[in-house]
Amino acid sequence: MFGVAKKLHESTPFDTSTVISITVFISLICLCIIIGHLLEKNRWANESIASLLLGIVSGGVVLLIHKGQNSRILVFNEELFFIYLLPPIIFNAGFQVKKKQFFKNFSTILSFGVLGTLISFCLVSSGVLFLLKKIGLTQLSTNDYLALGAILSATDSVCTLQVLNQDDTPLLYSIVFGEGVVNDATSIVLFNAVQSLDLSNLSSMTALALLGTFLYLFVTSTLLGVFVGLLSAFIIKKLYIGRHSTDREIALMMLMAYLSYMIAELMDLSGILTVFFCGVVMSHYTWHNVSESSRITAKHAFATMSFISETFIFLYVGMDTLDIDKWKESSSSAGTYLAVSSAMLALVLIGRAAFIFPLASILNYMKRDSDKKIDLSTQFIVWWAGLMRGAVTVALSYNAFSGSGEVSNERSLMISCTIIVVLFSTLLFGTVTKPLIRAILGAPRHAVSYASDIPSLEYLDFPFLEIQDNQEANVNGGEGEGEGEGEPQRRRGFSLLMKYPTGAVHHIWRKFDDKFMRPVFGGRGFVPYEPASPTGAAETTHEH
């Protein structure tokens, strides 16, 4: 009997080491789930930190089993991270994000995510160029220093999902996480740009070319995500796929979301932005077009895939920390490790502070309503929560310093020190963020209804952006609060538009959405076919 089993084992198409590695990782993920459940109410720890620590411990155990020769179970591969693990996390974040809060703070998010990342990139690149040469590193090129600036400017949006809660701290979550998504996309665009930059042919147009490239990638990636999301909504609404199979509905949503990411990568666009906005559009239209059972299943399926990917990433990074081969490749002393890591971490702190506080002050100055301003305590939390560095940083570091055939001691040192910064920032800032929020901001406050931001929202119903004759204006004016003249009412509409631009734009968008978008793409108010109902097809209606 054992001979037959041995023959079957020898004929298996799988490599034994691969089976063992996957078995170990699945077991560790199960253990992380249990530990995360036990730490649910803990104010200090969270699942991402627990997964990271468990990965470090597991790597240490493997290192002992191999008698200090090798700790690798799986080799860190940036392609595995960017192609398989990151898309479900970013898509689910876009799918679950509170859209009103996100777009309400969109100008702040763009300012921090784009302009702030550029400021941090310039400061960190200049800092590493100056400090690392002072430490004695001479083998790195200028492109390497620029790449380090992009790498260290990438925040960890994955860990933000674990640390912040969009129900307890909606403003913080929307700003920090939204900035993180845009920041990751900006950092990757900058990284790819400096990697292909020819420093021998620099000119005054280089900066403008980089800016133009980023704007092109940002707009094109966003439009691609919106297009695929709308296409999925149109197909599912028109074909009534749920009348035959709810599984097809969910499968089509998953595959089209992943397709948007892969098309973006194929076109050298930002897959992160594409799949994020695809998730936002799908949650606004497509999700409402599927059957009720598919809505519940899809929501939990997306969240589950995201959760497993997050846990896998932190386990992966934790275990890779004790990769003995990587540490042996660099012959640097402990003092060099400490000096380089400290310099990197200090530049991360300074680089983030250099744009958070000045940009927040500028944005506050431009806001007339004091309630909308970001106070100093909130600015500090935004600065602190965005200091975490994660898997994007590690993946870009591997891409920059181990992708070429030759790996020098200093290039290995950059990878090792980057991982040290990631571990230290995640463990320190990730652990302290929750208690710090409670200590500085107090108990969680529930968000106020968005409509309450504008006390006279009904006045925006007046067509102050349209041309009317005097008779229509007088009729509309008579429907107001006792104002008989159309012109004062129109001025009132313009004043509300100027005073509450975000709310006015939101209101105008809602009217446009109800009148033009939802009749074509479905969404809230659309009643899909329910297979369980024999009269489901007859009862299908539209609400506008």
Q: What is the mean pLDDT of residues 344-356?
A: 93
**Spatial separation of the C-alpha atoms in residues 238 and 289, rounded to whole Å:** 9
pLDDT digits (tens, 9 = 90+) for 289-300: 888 888 899 889
The pLDDT score that the predictor gives to residue 537 is 40
8 Å CB contact between 446 and 167? yes
Burial of 213 (0-12, 13-18, 19+ CB in 10 A): middle
Q: Is 157:181 a contact under the CB 8 Å cutoff?
A: yes
Looking from the CA of 409 toward its CB, the CA atoms found within 13 Å total: 10
Q: According to the 3-state scheme, what is the secondary structure of 79-93?
A: HHHHHHHHHHHHHHH
The two structure tokens encoding residue 540: 């299908």
Spatial separation of the C-alpha atoms in residues 272 and 184, rounded to whole Å: 8
Q: Which two tokens stand for residue 438?
A: 């409670």
Terminal-residue alpha carbon distance, the chain? 69
Lookup: tokens for 272? 């992160």
Cβ 179 vs Cβ 425: under 8 Å: no
Does residue 484 have a pLDDT over 60?
no
Specify the 3-state DSSP secondary structure of 308.
Answer: helix
φ, ψ dihedrals at 79, nearest 5°: -70, -40
- Per-residue 3-state assignment (H helix, E strand, C coil) for 440-469: HHCCCCCCCCHHHHCCCHHHHHCCCCCCCC
Q: From CA 396, how far away is CA 403, in angstroms rounded?
A: 10
Q: What is the pLDDT of residues 222-276, one digit of tens each?
A: 999 999 999 999 999 888 877 777 888 899 999 999 999 999 999 988 888 899 9
> In this prediction, what percent of the chain has a pLDDT beyond 70?
74
d(CA 157, CA 178): 8
pLDDT tens digit sequence for 14-63? 677 778 888 888 998 899 889 888 877 766 667 778 888 888 888 888 87
CA distance 352 to 347: 8
Burial of 181 (0-12, 13-18, 19+ CB in 10 A): buried
Q: In angstroms, what is the C-alpha Rg of the chain?
A: 26
52: helix, strand or coil: helix
How many whole angstroms separate alpha carbon 530 and alpha carbon 35? 39
Q: Find all residues with CB under 8 Å of 158, minimum gap 6, and list them.
A: 48, 89, 310, 313, 314, 390, 391
Note whether 155 and 117 are within 8 A (CB).
no
Q: Per-residue pLDDT tens for 130-172?
A: 998 888 887 888 888 888 999 999 887 777 766 777 777 778 8
Which of 258, 150, 155 is CA-nearest to residue 214?
150
**Does an H or E element contain 29, and which?**
helix 16-38
Domains located in the chain, CATH noted: 75-441 (1.20.1530.20), 458-531 (no CATH)
Does pLDDT of 93 surpass 50?
yes
Does the pLDDT of residue 407 top 70, yes or no?
A: no
* Per-residue CA distances from 417 to 38, 300, 412 (Å): 32, 38, 9
